[in-house]
Structure 1
């Protein structure tokens, strides 16, 4: 089996030779006009994604080997974008890497409603393209399928073609070719989404790309792993900042220390999201009372930077923070606290407690005030319970930046490990450790014949929301 490792980069990507690969990670500078309103929009998208009612009137709903790649961190560490090649000859696209969804879809060249700068898939230019159907979808009266997504709707037809990413190829791979996209589904220069959850969540019922690799025996180990850097808290951030690392088919031992703690998925009999069960939460070192069992399921989701929780847990958390207050209007479900307060939250999914940095618990000042800041945990069910029976907690990048995360297929589990010194001190001074079996000081990598580089992107639509803030 081939083993390799990829790094996330942000703006400039360096291509290595075929015999060695040391790629420093970079990022696109953070916009200076970031607003807590952006976080409110992202929170409502996340609510809708998992079947909860939004606070605002925005209609944003969603239906339900070892290789590593460079990625880009653009803006707020909100999403991960990788490079994928499709068709013959190959057409290359940037797509969001998302463990909270399962479908692969690409904008077509005929997508009139896509942003003008969206590179589209030209099916007529590929000799290996085929129109396709899936038996379980034969009840659909037309060839078009719609996917309700966080941010809008994607409408298109199924296709199959050769798809390659990170040196791996699935031929044929079924995916959706989007002819129409509404809302803010696509960011500039991004052509689609690569779902990294299970087939049971797929609107197209297609086998996800990563799952096809597992089924075909192409991976050295049936797992994938993420390491994410933190950039939003750095006041001296420049364009050349580290982004993170995604590894497909194994782990990168240079980026974590100790053992990976694997936790069996909450329901291994019906695999959809990557679901764990929250067992314990502490705030400022003290445990809070939370619902347990089926009322404490948690999705580990790279598609958001936020942390969403049940209303009773959110109230219990901020009750332990002096000076905190519930927010109202479009900010309903959020809390604020004095900006000078360090909020220390830790969570356990059945093993050890994993601390979340106070930097990830503070989204910055609200409005014109410099004294109250928006808290990093918000209520998912402040309006109503999930209409789809979705998970009760959502742990996005605000949590994942604090751990090394591993998603394992067999047996189904999510694992976490403590970040290594290499990871916590990650910078351009550290060349990327591509060999997952060696230390950082001796890292080297005999690259495969095909390099696919992945980019870490975070993009939030800036939406002005005028409302009364404090309840």
Structure 2
């Protein structure tokens, strides 16, 4: 599921509270009980970079954690600069923001880009439509100066959103895609590729640290890796198909039983998705094993059972990546404990695929290396 599917959760974000860690087991406690702690620590004890790209010129940018649902940071567009809150999204490749031509019956808490106020804006009179799982956005294409902190690219292509279907009440003003160029609008170049091509960043990497349960502390970094945000060494895995940040996954297990990715599968690491999304069949198996029952369009478990819920193991490149109950269950303001697994990603003519969203990426610091087409993961601090 792409981020647009998750926006239904954003609209309900006032109903979300963070589960106190005292109510459920920590990752360390869960691993110890499952006899996995020793092996996990042994595999991740080395604090060396293991060929990670590390550069003193790297640039760190703070992200705001909005209720563990979306993460966004500030950029500016135009001259003089107009500021916008955007999701830095590894699951797409285009940059778009709301524009002054945005039409909505209930407009609008979002910042709107005004091209008439920018002396460097260039219009193309080209129109586009983005299709997502649960909606579409429509707009026009333009070029202007875009700044991410001290990183500046002049003449960057971006989309000015005019109309949408299925996208309301977002706490952000746009999306900045960090996927491969093949996903971008035809004839345009994503901003990361422009930064790389023009030598604005010295190394072709970026990385994410996503905080859990607190608004501040999350960062996206460009041009290098700050190793203080993870424990142990980075484990590298090749990108299996250029486009998304896509890798090959071995299996998903729970209580020693394979519950997903039965014959190997593909997985996309997506900072723009809040959930763990997979085929309905596998998600149904998981919900049965944790005794989850339907609650509207979601699934809930008795909150009294949280300390007994099993850890789920994602095996990638032969290594375990545990996801405990404290990560895949969240508690709303009414005291209901809801699953963060979501089905619906089956295709009759395509291999099984999963999306590892923020539920997974809060646990594991992630590095995206375009120079070597690989992803690095290590336990987040």
Band the TM-score falls in, shorter-chain normalisation: 0.7 to 0.9
Aligned to 1:209: 191
Output the CA distance in 2 between the equivalents of 1:149 and 1:159. Answer: 21
Matched, 1:247 2:218: no
Provide the TM-score with structure 1 as the length reference: 0.63
- Cα RMSD (Å) of the superposition? 2.9
Deviations 1:363-396 (A, max 9, x none): 337x98x7x8433323224xxx348959710111
Output the CA distance in 1 between the equivalents of 2:195 and 2:161. Answer: 24
Aligned to 1:297: 266
Aligned to 1:192: 174
1:374 to 333, 338, 351: 338
Quick one: structure 1 residues 391 and 299, their matched pair in 2 at CA, closer, same or farther if it must change by over 3 Å? farther
Aligned to 2:44: none
Quick one: structure 1 residues 170 and 92, their matched pair in 2 at CA, closer, same or farther if it must change by over 3 Å? same
| Higher mean displacement: 341-350 or 392-401 | 341-350
Whose helix fraction is larger, Structure 1's or Structure 2's? 2
Deviations 1:177-230 (A, max 9, x none): 122233325524x32111111121124552111121122232232111111121
Quick one: structure 1 residues 177 and 242, their matched pair in 2 at CA, closer, same or farther if it must change by over 3 Å? closer
Provide the TM-score with structure 2 as the length reference: 0.77
Unpaired segments of 5 or more residues in structure 1?
A: 1-29, 36-64, 134-142, 232-236, 424-471
Q: What's the offset of the Cα at 1:289?
A: 6.1
Quick one: structure 1 residues 132 and 301, their matched pair in 2 at CA, closer, same or farther if it must change by over 3 Å? same
Unpaired segments of 5 or more residues in structure 2?
A: 1-11, 18-56
Whose strand fraction is larger, Structure 1's or Structure 2's? 2
Quick one: structure 1 residues 111 and 298, their matched pair in 2 at CA, closer, same or farther if it must change by over 3 Å? same
Matched, 1:107 2:98: yes
Superposition pairs of residues 164-179 of structure 1, within 5 angstroms: 164-179=147-162
Quick one: structure 1 residues 278 and 181, their matched pair in 2 at CA, closer, same or farther if it must change by over 3 Å? same
Aligned to 1:348: 315
Quick one: structure 1 residues 120 and 32, their matched pair in 2 at CA, closer, same or farther if it must change by over 3 Å? closer
Output the CA distance in 1 between the equivalents of 2:173 and 2:130. Answer: 15
Quick one: structure 1 residues 339 and 199, their matched pair in 2 at CA, closer, same or farther if it must change by over 3 Å? farther
Deviations 1:208-263 (A, max 9, x none): 111211222322321111111211xxxxx7xxx54422111111111112221111
Aligned residue pair count: 328
Secondary structure of 2:319 counterpart: coil
Q: What's the offset of the Cα at 1:302?
A: 0.8
Aligned to 2:236: 262
Paired residues of 1:104 and 1:193 also in contact (CA < 8 A): yes
